[in-house]
Structure 1
Amino acid sequence: MTLKITNLTGGYGRIPVLKNETFTVENGQTVALIGLNGAGKSTTIKHVMGLLQPQQGTITLDGLSLKDDIQAYRQKIAYVPELPVLYPELTLKEHIDLTIMAYNLDSTATWKQAQKLLEIFRLDNKLNWFPINFSKGMKQKVMIVCAFITQAQLFIIDEPFTGLDPLAVHDLLNLVQEKKQSGAAVLMSTHILTNAEQSADCFVLLNHGQVRAQGTLTQIQQEFGMDAANLDELYVQMSKEEADA
């Protein structure tokens, strides 16, 4: 599976947030979107999911665009948002059943996978709980479970570590690694640069809606002329460039 974004210009109104953004996420690869607040990370994700329409440019998954087949396109994607979105009138079990129906998954096989994930995230005894009973971190775990029981080819994870305890972060990173090894593509947006540096294969650094640099850590170090820098130091350098602009 390949996510291909080509010359994407877009945003929420006439004045674009994104300007000629181009990058790809290949199958078996994790790409981390990095940037300051307002750089265009969430806007990029909303365009990929079809929540915003491009002013210019194209977005395809394995050559398929939203215009080609909206249902087939969206069934290729699983999404973990920064802020959990749960239905207050549905239990945890019903959220999983809803996910199974939405993705046309085999119920028996998917519930076996769900049970494993529920145990990993210590939710297996909470199937009859409603969202009002969950903490923010627990709600985020529900979103993770619902996303990772799917057979999606692209996993989009927006600020996934917010509200998670260190053990849950470790478990999530293991899941990302497993999906990547199975051939899925992962697009991750995060401010937790240490986790990004450890888990991502490539990085896309956004600045004012434009790609400032992209590639492996070594390639980005060369782009900035900072051969020994870690991701945090490169982020700070990009911030200084913005302040000086």
Structure 2
Amino acid sequence: MNLLHVRIEEAGYEAHSPAIRDIEFGLRQGELVGLIGHNGAGKSTTIKAMLGMIRHMRGSMQWAGERPSYAYVPEHPVVYDDLTLWEHLETAAAVYELERPMFIRRAEELLRQFRMEDVRHHLPGSFSKGMRQKLMLILAFLHQPDVYIVDEPFVGLDPRGTKQFLELLRAERERGAGVLMSTHVLDAAERMCDRFVLIADGTLAAQGTLDDLRAASGLPDGTLFDCFHELA
């Protein structure tokens, strides 16, 4: 089942100056799609265009169902310095209209899994970058959406946090959620992703499974790293 279809004709931060163009791909239920490309290729811009965060955009987003259900984890954590961790969760629960018993159960479980129970009433100004990233992940997993859109999730995470993130992501995919993950960690992407969307110079250079990228690059035994450098 297709959860999401993205078609970006062009998008940019200034009128008549597109940063990306001619990008089209889909995301299916239970699938993990890796959005890959060099720094500055247009990965984050693609995500922002998808989410309506760029004013100058022509294209369309088609979601399964009448009401899109998604969670976005940005590359750089966005937090409110005057709200505690728990208050962040309560605010998100109100937005998602989670029933109180379900919210409490889910929040307690995620705090335990990410080892953040002891700082639930602390302000994020005292958190390390990794702890802020964990807060963003907890907020994303809280309401179990249909689609996760995650931009460079491994930045700042320690090995334990990375392991917990991947385990939760696996469980969510088994539940039927789809994941679009932008990353430059190609060895991890090769192990994890079902398909890839390769962005180069602001446009779609290739997409498909690793075998598809191997065929496109002429490297029948190539790694994702090899194919990436041939195609990008």
The answer to whether TM tops 0.5 is: yes
Q: After TM superposition, which residue ranges in structure 1, 4 or more long, deviate above 3 angstroms?
A: none
Partner amino acid for 2:175? S
- Is contact 1:173-1:199 (8 Å) kept? no
Q: By how many angstroms is 1:205 displaced?
A: 0.5
Equivalent position SS for 1:57: strand
Alignment correspondent of 1:199? 192
Equivalent position SS for 1:146: helix
In structure 1, stretches of 5+ residues that fail to align are 65-71, 240-245
Partner amino acid for 2:45? T
Alignment correspondent of 2:39? 37
- Please give the residue correspondences for 1:79-228 in structure 2 after superposition, counting only pairs within 5 Å: 79-228=72-221
Q: By how many angstroms is 1:110 displaced?
A: 2.1
Q: Among all aligned residue pairs of Structure 1 and Structure 2, give the percentage whose two residues are the same amino acid.
A: 39
Q: By how many angstroms is 1:54 displaced?
A: 5.5
Does 1:2 find its partner at 2:13?
no
Partner amino acid for 1:25? L
- Please give the residue correspondences for 1:67-82 in structure 2 after superposition, counting only pairs within 5 Å: 72-73=67-68, 76-82=69-75
Query: 1:191 & 1:46 partners in 2: Cα distance?
Result: 17
Query: 2:85 & 2:57 partners in 1: Cα distance?
Result: 38
- Cα distance, 1:218–1:121 mapped onto 2, change above 3 Å: same
Does 1:11 find its partner at 2:6?
no
Query: 1:54 & 1:77 partners in 2: Cα distance?
Result: 22
Query: 1:95 & 1:232 partners in 2: Cα distance?
Result: 38
Query: 1:120 & 1:200 partners in 2: Cα distance?
Result: 23
Partner amino acid for 1:5? V
RMSD of aligned C-alpha atoms? Answer: 1.4
- Cα distance, 1:82–1:195 mapped onto 2, change above 3 Å: same
Q: By how many angstroms is 1:6 displaced?
A: 2.2
Query: 1:61 & 1:213 partners in 2: Cα distance?
Result: 23
Alignment correspondent of 2:49? 47
Q: By how many angstroms is 1:131 displaced?
A: 0.6
Per-residue CA deviation, residues 2-41 of structure 1 (Å, 9 max, x unaligned), is 1101253111122111211110011111111000112111
Partner amino acid for 2:21? K
- Please give the residue correspondences for 1:50-69 in structure 2 after superposition, counting only pairs within 5 Å: 50-53=52-55, 55-62=57-64
- Is contact 2:13-2:56 (8 Å) kept? no
* TM-score of the aligned structures, taking structure 2 as reference length: 0.94
Q: How many residues align?
A: 230
Per-residue CA deviation, residues 158-214 of structure 1 (Å, 9 max, x unaligned), is 000000011211111111111111111111001111221121111000111211110
Q: By how many angstroms is 1:115 displaced?
A: 1.2
Query: 2:186 & 2:120 partners in 1: Cα distance?
Result: 33
